[in-house]
Amino acid sequence: MTSTPPSMSHSSSSTPTNNICDRCQGVPWDLIADPKQTSTDPYLWVSESHGQLKSSSCRICRLLANIKSPSLDGKICPLLSQRTCWIQCRSKWILDISQSSNLVHFGDESRGTIEVSRPDQIINIGIQRIDPEHVSFKRLQDCVSYCRQNHSRVCIRPTFQPASGFRVINCTDPAQRIVPAPPECKYAALSYVWGNTTRSCSSGVYPQVIVDAINVTLSMGLQYLWVDRHCIDQNNAMDKHNQISQMGNIYANSEITIIASAGTDATYGLPGISRPRKQQSGEVINGISLLEGFPHPVHAVKESAWARRGWTYQEAFLSPRRLVFTDYGVWYLCDKICLAEHEKVPITKISSLPTFEIRTFTPHPDLDDRYVAPRTRAANDMIVEYSRRELRYASDALDAMLGVLQFLETKGVYSIWGTVIYEERPVINWQHKHPGKRRPGFPSWSPLGWEGPIKLENFLGYNDFEVALGEKSETPLPGQNPISTTAAGLAKGGKDAPRFLHLTGYVVDLLLENIQWADSRKSHQTTFHLAAGEYKHNHTLSDGTYASLRISPETSVLAKAKLDGAEGPGASTRTRPVLGLLLRRYSDDAYYPHLMDPTVKNADFLLLERRQGGGGSGAWCWYYERIGYLECKIRAQEEEQQQEREKDYLQDTVFVDGVSGDVLDDVSIPRGDPLWREGAGWRTVVVG
């Protein structure tokens, strides 16, 4: 067996016998099928592209094309074997593996697997062929009853009484009318994408996805189905408001939620009900069966239009049990276990959820941690995930997340305007990866105030600002006035919460300017002269909006601003005066607060721009909006480890001469506070 890739040329182009090339013929398939085999060496190195394999005259090569996706083109991939249970049961150490099949795949980037088995083998854990036309409801029902019986401490949501006016589709009624929900109503809920289909919801004819969902509801032994567009009276504003504020509860209390993740609109329907799923390929070679195991459905779901939509986030997250319909079969997912339809495994052998990716759809276990920091981190991850999603109506930004925010409150994590509160301060040190678009009606300091994905890495550590809640027209409320998480209005997480932060902290005047770097400057090396010696740092600079902060009379640091919104026309020639409010500072001993060096080394600022205010008189009738985030990094690292860990540490940061503004190649970092700190005033600004 080879352990290094051979050259790109190989034997698969030779004339195949029995439609199988010499290379595939030479693989010891019977050995791979042997339950006792444990080899981790590659059986084959495959260099052909997906297209080349697909058009091969060898039928085994064509089967391999299914698991070597175009994304692996140009790579020479090893064909590896593994026990199926290691992939499907996620806890190899407690399993009786004797009845598991073996399979082959192309490593971590493989697009699924191929099971290799002998016809006489007894397999309890393996791949099974799914019927493209029909879903196996028996299995899904088994999963639901197993969950009901065994996961009563995990897959459970706070109980609620549906608000009056809660209506459902009666699926056993031949006319499938919408009726008031009976007491203790057990129902399925539908999570789907309406898409661009123009059909009106009052036409009396359900779109395909709802027709199919009615079918699934009945097949799962349920009578009632809840579908937002049909069960909420669209013409009754009061009812609509009541139901929308209950939306999270409606999903949380469903028996199952039917997730239509395939297709891009409501006409696509559910694969396995009104349209066939993809078919697994299979081959037999020398009496050994090869059967394709689909890639885990989570991949297809993550790519789907359904997963890009804002509303569906809480619909999936709050549901205790989900049936996810994909073109690769149905995927059962509760908070404890998940099972793809092609996976043959006894329910009792599935002991945990597999990959990190599933966390997008289920509550993170850290939400039950006894410490608030891990719970807050998990909640922030959810805000980040939500920011990646799109909403048709910007005004839905809070409503579509409200159920999740209410759920977080049951875990002791509070929020205001979708911004998580930690140690009585809202976590506002998020930043945009790329400029987004402002959502009117939401505060600029909230991630909900913008369209576009955010990142939020570290909310722990030194926060230098103080905060109070108030109104725009109020006299700025300085001083320590922490946000009480039990305050009325806040606890509801809704739009009645105050929307102005009165932020008190060190504020500096900054000038933003657009810089286009000469190509020769884009890769830059800075030499730092430190007491401990000198070291060189390579970094890159990109064009964009920069702010300058003076660190000594001779030297300023120029750092790129992460703007929240796109710059308007003419931005490249104009400068923009803004305020920088110091949010966080770091010194050399940031990890050891008791040794804290009080001098500022690195600092993060909120960038605030003045807006026309209103009401009251005096300075405070101006208010500010957040326009971006600025990281000013001046800490010269002296430790090898830190250099290694923070390779891109100084990306988009450069040091310039304090007088001429010329870029400096050699820098001395003075001891003590940077100069900008002297000019920073401790003041209160109102941010809306």
The footprint of Zn ion on residues 17-46 (CB under 5 A) is: 21, 24
**Residue pair 611/624 in contact by the 8 Å Cβ criterion:** yes
C-alpha pair distances (Å), 150 with each of 144, 146, 273, 307, 491: 10, 6, 29, 29, 33
Report the alpha-carbon distance of residue 606 to residue 419 in Å, rounded. 15
The CB-of-55 to Zn ion minimum distance in angstroms stands at 12
* Minimum CB–partner distance for residue 489 and Zn ion (Å): 35
* Residue ranges in 126-165 that form contacts with Zn ion under rule CB under 5 A: 147, 151, 155
Site string for Zn ion, 228-267 (x = CB under 5 A): ----------------------------------------
The per-residue b/e assignment along 603-634, b for 16 or more CB within 10 angstroms, e otherwise, is bbbbbbeeeebeeeeeebeebbbbbbbbbbbb
Q: How far is the CB of 314 from Zn ion (least distance, A)?
A: 19
Distance, in Å, from the CA atom of 478 to the CA atom of 569, rounded to the nearest integer, reads 37
Here's the x/- map for Zn ion, 335-354, by CB under 5 A: it reads as -x------------------
Residue 66 beta carbon to Zn ion: minimum distance, rounded to whole angstroms = 13
Q: Which stretch binds Zn ion (CB under 5 A): 194-202, 213-221, 331-339, 409-417?
A: 331-339
CB of 12 to Zn ion, least distance (A): 5
- 323 sits near Zn ion (criterion: CB under 5 A): no
Q: Which is nearer to Zn ion, 61 or 632 (CB)?
A: 61
Cα separation, 405 vs 419, whole angstroms: 9
**467 is an interface residue for Zn ion by CB under 5 A:** no
Report, in Å, the least distance between residue 64 CB and Zn ion. Answer: 7
Q: Give the shortest CB-151-to-Zn ion separation in angstroms.
A: 3
CB of 503 within 8 A of CB of 688? Answer: no
What is the radius of gyration, based on Cα positions, of the chain? Answer: 29
Q: Using CB under 5 A, which of 46, 53, 61, 125 touches Zn ion?
A: 61
- The CA distance from 243 to 544, in Å, is 45
**Among 248, 166, 234, residue whose Cα is nearest residue 200:** 234
CB of 155 to Zn ion, least distance (A): 3
Of positions 27, 44, 46, 60, contacts Zn ion by CB under 5 A: 60
Name the residue nearer to Zn ion (CB basis): 79 or 147: 147
Distance between CA 669 and CA 655 in Å, rounded?
10
Q: Tell me if 54 contacts Zn ion by CB under 5 A.
A: no
# binding residues, Zn ion (CB under 5 A): 10
Residue 18 vs 236, nearer CB to Zn ion: 18
Interface with Zn ion by CB under 5 A: which range of 52-60, 113-121, 506-514, 612-620? 52-60
With CB under 5 A as the contact rule, which of the stretches 59-67, 74-82, 242-250, 385-393 interacts with Zn ion?
59-67
CB of 16 to Zn ion, least distance (A): 7
Alpha carbons 350 and 331: distance in angstroms, whole number: 14
Stretch (H or E) spanning 409: helix 399-410
The nearer residue to Zn ion, 21 or 89, going by C-beta atoms, is 21
Which residues contact residue 558 at a Cβ distance below 8 angstroms, ignoring those fewer than 6 apart? 515, 546, 547, 548, 653, 654, 655, 656
3-state secondary structure of 513: strand
What are the tokens at 595?
Answer: 């040794």
Residue number with CB closer to Zn ion (65 or 87): 65
Q: How many residues does the chain have?
A: 688
Interface with Zn ion includes 65 (CB under 5 A)? no
Helix intervals (H) in 220-359: 228-231, 237-252, 297-303, 305-308, 311-318
- Quick check: 288 binds Zn ion (CB under 5 A)? no
List 58, 189, 350, 600, residue binding Zn ion (CB under 5 A): 58
Nearer to Zn ion, 145 or 279 (CB): 145
Minimum separation from the CB atom of position 147 to Zn ion (A): 3
Residue 685 lies near Zn ion (rule: CB under 5 A) = no
User: Minimum CB separation from Zn ion for residue 346, in Å?
Assistant: 15
To the nearest 10°, the Cα dihedral for 55, 56, 57, 58? -140
In the complex, least distance from residue 251 CB atom to Zn ion, rounded to whole angstroms: 15
CB 605 within 8 A of CB 582: yes
Whichever of 283 and 625 has its CB closer to Zn ion, that residue is: 283
Cβ 130 vs Cβ 341: under 8 Å? yes
DSSP 185-226: --EEEEE---TT----TTSS---HHHHHHHHHHHHTT--EEE
Q: Are strands 523-530 and 666-668 parallel, antiparallel or unpaired?
A: parallel
Nearer to Zn ion, 54 or 229 (CB): 54
Query: Given the complex with Zn ion, which of 60 and 400 has the nearer CB atom?
Result: 60
Among 168, 247, 334, 608, binds Zn ion (CB under 5 A): 334
**CA pseudo-torsion sign 366, 369, 375, 377:** negative
- Closest CB to Zn ion among 113 and 387? 113
Which residues of the chain form contacts with Zn ion (CB under 5 A)?
A: 21, 24, 58, 60-61, 147, 151, 155, 334, 336
